[in-house]
Amino acid sequence: MKKLRTKIGEVVERRAKELNTLCCELIQAKGENPPGDVSEAAKVIEHFLQTEGISYQTFEPAKGHVSVVATVGRAKPTLILCGHIDVVPAGDLSSWNIPPYEGVIKQGKIFGRGASDQKGGVAAMLMAVAAVKDFENELSGKITVASVSDEEALGPGGALWLLQNKKLSGSACLITEPTGYLDGQYSVVGGERGNCWLRITAHGKPAHGSMPALGRNAISMLTDFLPKLKALESATVRVPKDAETLIRNGRKQLRKVAEKQGVQASVLTKALDHYTVNLGLISGGAKVNIVPERCEAEVDIRVPAGGNPDAVEEFVRSVLSEHLEYEVIKKTIPSYTPTTHRLTRAVQQGARRVFGYKSLATYAYYTSDAHHFREILGVPTVSFGPGFSELAHAYNEFVYAKDVLKMAETYANIIADFST
């Protein structure tokens, strides 16, 4: 196995320039979500796979919402590597020092929207499987690489569609989400919070703005109600025993982030074992001189390990005022893979050989595609990828070229360990 790892690693190193080019081409391919059309990025991936002689399938349940699934090897166990190719919108273009879709390398950094989240990880996993392909006969397992749409926003395709329609299967999954922090080390993310996204609507009664007492102000009703949701953040949640190490390690990382950002540490670390409530959208009213008849808000409530989105609904129902109603936009349960699992250890071992340190297994404050694999496929899933949490969705996003290369080598190591 050691000889195989060495041979594969040498192939990846020799192809460093090609890897940089692939990453830049993926960034140039855009794929903002919304609207979620990733066909340009999918074409880049298809061309790469065709050139490498790797068999693949494309799935497009709705126009532009493309996922590309490739395989190398023949037998079980199957390791899935999965990365998303959609990105969040670039925002104010004048806030970028380098145009977001130029996809250039300067001073060892690959710049552009999606560089950290998640084009660097997708490029690394594709290069790793291309290197492994040359030694396919030495593998006893099968590797599946899925480049998916619709992770950044709800959509008709992506990992969820592939799993629900039985187009993707395996015995374990590695997500290439960025798991580093600036000036820190990369971690293996073994768990993540769930969520409960709510749309809350207040129904008022219109009247002339000069006589508000004759109406019922929907905006006032809703803004009076929303602070009640904050009580969730004080609720006590019992963390499952086998998730405690993940939570503890996650706190260590967030304390460092808090110190660097000048934020009180407890404000960040509390998010890992408590509910958090964020009012993301609010709209209401028709005209300044009309008592508003309707007001609507969308609230993002994150659910920690040991919590449940059903409990969020139960709480909301208990405090909901008259003339207010709610609906669930999206909900997922918190999920995790214990630190003792073989997959976690395989990723840590592969990373140690390349990065030179043991990556902590941690719990994440965000929610990714990982929970789909744990819930629908029922397989152990962890995230490990190039890029930095602070730069995801930020202006002037970048990833270090050397980190993308090291991740490709690490993925090749993990494939060799898992498939021999």
Residue 184 is predicted with a pLDDT of: 85
Query: Are 161 and 298 contained in the same domain?
Result: no
Query: DSSP labels for 58-110?
Result: EE-SSTT--EEEEEE-SSSSEEEEEEE--B-----GGG-SS-TTS-EEETTEE
Whole-number Å distance between alpha carbons of 246 and 237: 15
Last residue of a domain, which of 279, 311, 332?
A: 332
Give a yes or no: residue 264 inside a domain. no
Domain end position, chosen among 332, 349, 382: 332
The average pLDDT across 81-107 equals: 98
Q: What is the distance between the alpha carbons of residues 184 and 118, in angstroms, rounded to a whole number?
A: 18
SS3 content of the chain, % helix, strand, coil (to 5): 40, 25, 35
CB 141 within 8 A of CB 79: yes
- Show the domain range for 67: 2-192+334-418
Beta-sheet strand order (sheet of 104-106): 104-106, 109-111, 398-400
pLDDT band per the 50, 70, 90 thresholds, residue 420: low
Whether residue 252 is predicted with pLDDT greater than 80 in this model: the reply is: yes
137/281 same-domain check: no
Instruction: Please tell me whether residues 181 and 49 are part of one structural domain.
Output: yes
- Give me the sign of the Cα torsion angle 157, 159, 160, 162: positive
Q: What is the mean pLDDT of residues 70-99?
A: 94
Does residue 140 sit in the same domain as residue 216? no
Rounded Cα–Cα distance for residues 297 and 223 (Å) = 9
pLDDT in tens, 379-408: 999 999 999 988 999 999 999 999 999 999
Q: Is 241 contained in some domain? A: yes
**Residue 106 token pair:** 């300067």
384 within domain boundaries: yes
Q: How many Cβ atoms are within 10 Å of 63's Cβ, its own excluded?
A: 10
Q: Is residue 265 part of a domain?
A: no
In a domain, 208, yes or no: yes
Q: Are 304 and 237 in contact (CB under 8 A)?
A: yes
Are 362 and 189 in contact by the 8 Å Cβ rule? The answer is yes
> Which CATH number covers residue 187?
3.40.630.10
Same-domain check for residues 223 and 328: yes
Count how many residues are written for the chain.
Answer: 420
Interval 197-219: pLDDT, tens: 999 999 999 999 999 999 999 99
- Write out the two tokens for 89: 């919108």
Q: Is residue 46 part of a domain?
A: yes
Task: Tell me whether the omega of the peptide bond preceding residue 89 falls within 30 degrees of 0, making it cis.
Answer: no
- Are residue 186 and residue 245 in the same domain, yes or no? no
The reply to whether 341 and 326 lie within a common domain is no
Over pLDDT 90: what percentage of the chain? 88
Q: How many whole angstroms separate alpha carbon 307 and alpha carbon 243?
A: 12
101 and 206 part of one domain: no
Is residue 352 very low, low, confident or very high in pLDDT (cuts 50, 70, 90)?
very high
Domain closes at, from 332, 349, 383: 332
Task: Please report whether residue 261 resides in a domain.
Answer: no
Signed CA dihedral, 282, 285, 288, 292: sign only: negative
Question: Are residues 43 and 186 located together in one domain of the fold?
Answer: yes
Q: Please indicate, yes or no, whether residues 101 and 139 belong to a single structural domain of this protein.
A: yes
CA distance 345 to 343: 5
Residue 364 zone, left/alpha/beta (φ > 0; ψ -120 to 50; rest): beta
* Cα 407 from Cα 400, distance rounded (Å): 11
CATH code, domain carrying 301: 3.30.70.360
CB 180 within 8 A of CB 172: no
| Residue 88 domain-assigned (yes or no) | yes
Q: How many domains does the chain have?
A: 2
Whether residue 114 is found in the same domain as residue 241? no
Residues 287, 340, single domain; the answer is no
